Each structure stands twice: as structure tokens, then as C-alpha cells.
Amino acid sequence: MLRESGARVKVRLNFAPFMNSFGQEFYPHETIRALKFADKTRLGDRRVLVEHIAAQLPQSSEITRLRIAAKFAQRYFSGTRKELIPPAHRQPFVHLVARTRHTPTQIELLFWRLAHVDTLVGALSRDLFYPVCIALRPPDGYGSAEFAAHNGGQLFSTEPLLTRSFIFAHAARKWNFHNAASLDRALRVLQGAGLVSRERMSELRGHPTAFRLSRHDVSLATFAWALYEEFLPHAQSGKFSLSPDVLPVADFARTLLLSPPQVEAHCRSARAAQLLALDKKSLRLVFGSLDALAETLLTKAL
């Protein structure tokens, strides 16, 4: 368990019923260029930054370019409607993505941030794909037979899957979310990040669409960043230790769709890279701020 000043802190396992969807595609490569521009120019005016980003986008319509650029700003920059606080180059996430030289890591980090602000994407990862494709159990609230009946007759196989129709029915039933376009867009985000793959169930009538977990992992830099973003607020509020058995079911691991063996391997690598420290049988965060972590990850080029 997570321990803080002698008290137990529960890991959040249930997602809030209200779902946000930002209404734009992932655009990872365009976003990387935008963050590099923001980090290099050190702009603090949000409107000016959005206009500069829009000018670099390939879409033919100026209105479309401005809308996409504004969504980039909402997803990845902190601040008010008028200014970035602090300026972009002093925001550790922006700085880390912009200066990282490994494109897959950049895309992983962008997905991690997007899943926080576009809560529909995060809920699909944590509440559907993680239990079915990694924990090998039905989503919360379903018995095995009920789940199989609504999931194309599929329960679990060597490669468990989720049908599109079940995902849509679950969103309506559990989240009161009925926007099919947003659900399809969220699934494309998971595909674009390399977490899931789409296929047709050719053995069933109508060949319904389904999604499987892709064979994927994340870089040590992404793993460390996501772990710190989840647990650093606890560490800053008092004496803190983290039991390794918490991490496989923590929000960050379920959002990134990491299996328990992957989490365990990354913890060993993080200790070897001096990003985590062993405190008796528990783990301890080494850095006290995301700024320090970002600079270390860039220096070590993990």
C-alpha cells in the first residue's frame, strides 16, 4: 500500500462518471513540432502561441488550423486563457517532450497527458482494456457470462478483445455517454499511441469491429514521468513510501496498459538509473519536483 505519515492512502480504482472529450484527433507529430516551437521561442502569450502553431499546420482551412492549435494548447500547456503560466520553456512536461530525442517516448508522453485531459480516453484504458486484456477479467459490474454475451460471444482467449459494440454499450450504461463520434475518436487515439489494434471478427456474422491489446511497452522515461506525476503529490505532503505491489494497479500503469511484469521490470530499471530508491521493502521517489526529474531524464537520455 501507499503510505503517507503512517496512514494508508488508497489507490483510486474507480473513474468518475463524467466524461470529457476534446473533440480532436491525436496528431502526435504535429504536437511534437508545436511543443518544440513553444520551448524554443519561450512564448508566454497563449494567443500568439496558438497563432504561430496554427501557421505551421498542414490543414487548408485557417479556422481548422486555429481550432486544432487551440486544442493543443488546452491539452499540453498550463496557464490561463491569455497566458502560459509559467512560460512554455519552464513547464517541465513541455520541456521534456520538446527536448527528448526519441520519438516513441515523445508519443507515449503525449498520450499520457492527453488521457488526463480527455478523460474518455483514460477511462477506456483503465476501465475496459486493462481489466479485459491484462487482468483477464470482465469489466467491473459484469459477470463472465453477461460480458461474453455482449462482447461478440468472446470471454477470454489467448488474445482477449473488446468489440466496438460492447464498448459503446458500456459507455452508455456505465458513463451515460452516447457520443459515437467521440468514442471512435478516443479509440483512434489508443491506436495512434500504439496501445491497441483494430481488427474484424471474421468468424462472426457481419464481421464486427473489435480491438486487441497491441504488443507494446513504454520507455523508462515515460514510466518514470507517469509514476512521478501520480505519486509525487503524496510524497510532497509528508513522509512517504510506496509498496511495489501497488504499482501494477495504479492509475498510471492501467492508463498506459502495462502488465505487472512490465511494471516490475521498469521498477528495477528505475532503481538502477537512480530514479527510485529502495527503502526497506518499499520504494521511495528520489526527486522532489517534476522540473528536477525532467532535467535528469534528458541528461540520462532514457
Beta strands in the chain (DSSP E): 2-4, 7-9, 161-163, 196-200, 209-213, 240-242, 276-279, 282-285
Distance of CA 229 to the CA centre of its chain: 11
Return the C-alpha cell found at 95.
520541456
pLDDT given at position 36: 96
pLDDT given at position 22: 58
pLDDT given at position 289: 95
pLDDT given at position 204: 62
Q: Quote the pTM value.
A: 0.89
pLDDT given at position 140: 93
pLDDT given at position 208: 82
pLDDT given at position 9: 38
244-265 burial: b if 16+ Cβ within 10 Å, else e: eebbbbbbbbbbbbbbeebbee
Burial of residue 12 (number of CB atoms within 10 Å: 0-12, 13-18, 19+): exposed
Question: Which residues, given as ranges, of the chain have pLDDT below 70?
Answer: 1-23, 154-158, 202-206, 238
pLDDT given at position 234: 83
CA distance 110 to 48: 22
Q: Domains of the chain, with CATH numbers?
A: 2-14+217-300 (1.10.10.10), 28-102 (no CATH), 119-209 (no CATH)
